[in-house]
Amino acid sequence: MPALVELIGATHRYADVVAVDDVHMALRPGELVFLVGPSGAGKTTLLRLINREIRPSSGEVWVDGLPAHSLRPTRIPELRRRVGVVYQDYKLLPRLTALENVAFALRVTDLQVSDAEAHDRALDALEAVGLGEKADAFPHQLSGGQQQRVAIARAVVRQPPLLIADEPTGNLDLETAWQVMKLLEQISRFGTCVLVATHNLEIVRRMQRRVLTLVDGRLVRDQPAGRVGRLAWASS
């Protein structure tokens, strides 16, 4: 199966810091992959390269056949439609209901979608994350875990081939974090490649999925699913 995401010697410098350093990696469709490493290791920078928020200083970043490293700005929306994004702080619009948040995301990225269709698809996505009953709630009326599930529904409503999540459980207690991770795992089972940057090593160990470890911008370890033992980067 061809790679869905491929980095070839990807390097990113911010002024004097080399945040991502000569990374080679490939992700396949339907894989759930964790990205771990100490604070400042380059996890967020790597996700931003994949989403073409930034361009590599050198090397290549391929996403679903598109060259993110050399993509013309006019083609960025084409790439973004293929990548769902989930953040630590949810980033929901506070004045819109859960349903409106999801429907709005669909409409701004695809002007062909009618109001009625956006409504139906948003409701389907909320039901898929177990929040059909909260469709009319505003973000402040939802728990952190529920808000994150709305954000996940928003990210997957167009069924992108890739979902990237930057510390999606960082604001959640362990039990809620576990539920959110199980939801991401379920999404990957439907064929979406899911890449999750996280500090939650307890969950990573329990899930036994592929783990990529970054230290000082370098990919120092790539552990296959089912063989995740020690995760302490100090030992690598």
Give the footprint of Mg ion on this chain (CB under 5 A).
Answer: 43-44
Task: Give Cα separations from 113 to 106, 124, 161 (angstroms).
Answer: 8, 15, 19
- Burial code (b: 16+ CB inside 10 Å, e: under 16) for 112-141 equals ebeeeebbebbbebbebbebeebbebbbee
Regarding 156 and contact with ligand ATP (CB under 6 A), the answer is no
Locate tokens 């909260």: which residue? 134
45 interacts with, out of ligand ATP, Mg ion, none, CB within 5 to 8 A per kind: ligand ATP
SS3 assignment, position 207: helix
Among the candidate windows 39-47, 110-118, 151-159, 221-229, which touches ligand ATP by CB under 6 A? 39-47
CB of 132 to ligand ATP, least distance (A): 33
- Burial code (b: 16+ CB inside 10 Å, e: under 16) for 171-204 equals ebeeebbbebbebbeebbeeebbbbbbbebbebb
CB of 166 to Mg ion, least distance (A): 6
Contact residue for ligand ATP among 21, 33, 34, 43 (CB under 6 A):
43
Question: Considering beta carbons, is residue 100 or 166 the nearer one to Mg ion?
Answer: 166
CA distance 103 to 115: 8
CB of 32 to ligand ATP, least distance (A): 19
DSSP code, position 16: T
Of 45-84, binders to ligand ATP (CB under 6 A) are 45
CB of 69 to ligand ATP, least distance (A): 17
Of 183-222, binders to ligand ATP (CB under 6 A) are none
Locate tokens 């080399």: which residue? 18
Catalog residues that contact ligand ATP under the rule CB under 6 A: 14-15, 17, 19, 37, 39-45
